[in-house]
Amino acid sequence: MKKILQLLIFMICSLLVADAQNSEKATKKEALLPYDNPIVKQRADPWVLKTDDGTYYFIATVPEYDRIILRKAKTINDLKKADEKVIWTKHNKGVMGAHIWAPELHSIDGKWYIYFAAGDAENIWNIRMWVLSNESKDPMEGEWKEEGQIITKRNSFSLDATSFEHKGKRYLIWAQDVLEGESGTALVISEMKNPTTLVGPEVVLTRPEFSWERMKYNVNEGPAVLKKNGKIFVLYSASATNHNYAMGMLWIDEAADLLDAFNWYKSPGPVFYSNEEVKRFGPGHNSFTTDESGKNVVMIYHARDYKEIKGHELSDPNRATRARIVGWTKSGFPDLLQYKRD
């Protein structure tokens, strides 16, 4: 019975992906999206947070992997020319000394937090999740305090933490090496006791099981949460960070138990991926915000405008931040407009 149910779920997922692709093909000839892309050059893993007063804050990975930066502006397009401030720099030795990756800015209970990944200066691949905090009204000001590491039950390679609140509880989703018998990362969820501490079970939501998630590396990472139409969607990235990088989607009914993996559904194919026709290669590691009107969901993500990379993909600095308005299918699912030019 369980195998039959899983097959039915797979078929439903396939139909929903087709729904999104067919919806989007119909809009292929529409006008270009209203953003001056790339929004920010040489900035990967972008995260944009819009405050209640309409200010946009931008944070991302820099190609040197050595510092955390912030920008702010009144419009998404204005992030391009906004002044950039270095608010934290890696340690010269020990933990938080290398591979400063994928910072995210969150406002929680009147305080600012930045979740980020970092390796050790002496062991750059010993990557774990870390937290900074700031009590200033404006995160561009004040002092950033090191809150320490987010401790997981399994002490292994972990990164890309994102936090969200649902029905009075706060959750963390992150990528971690929890695969048995092979290297790679799965996405894990846990409830949080506070903005720096996990509590309760740590549940694996998705593993790299399909071929498009296992190109060069076995990777599920970069989760981004979007709540709409009675569902919680998690967009995530998979495979190596070259042209094979692509995005998949998980979703769950908002009334379901988030910590029961069986309640989550997964798209069998990627929902956003390289498109040579529009010179978009390796799109992924996104975040969501809203446009200036507050009416439209905007996806912020990175991609390159060329396919061939000299050397290792992580040494190439030209992942650039882009923005696009998200469409919606008749079924109420996000449509990332795969065939539409930025």
Q: Catalytic positions, please? A: 45, 221
Report the C-alpha gap between 307 and 193 in whole angstroms: 43
Distance of CA 123 to the CA centre of its chain: 25
List the beta bridge partners of residue 299: 288, 324
Which residues have CB under 8 Å from 86's CB, separation 6+?
A: 67, 68, 69
H/E run at residue 11: helix 2-25
DSSP label at residue 292: T
Closest to 237 in 3D by CA, of 280, 313, 275, 185: 185
Work out whether strand 197-206 and strand 220-228 pair parallel, antiparallel, or are unpaired.
unpaired
Closest to 144 in 3D by CA, of 134, 154, 158: 134
Distance of CA 298 to the CA centre of its chain: 13
Cis peptide before 38 (omega within 30 of 0): yes
Which residues have CB under 8 Å from 82's CB, separation 6+?
A: 58, 71, 72, 73
Alpha-carbon distances of 237 from 91, 144, 213, 303, 325, rounded to whole Å: 28, 29, 8, 12, 19
3-state secondary structure of 173: strand
Which residues have CB under 8 Å from 48's CB, separation 6+?
A: 56, 57, 58, 76, 79, 287, 289, 298, 300, 323
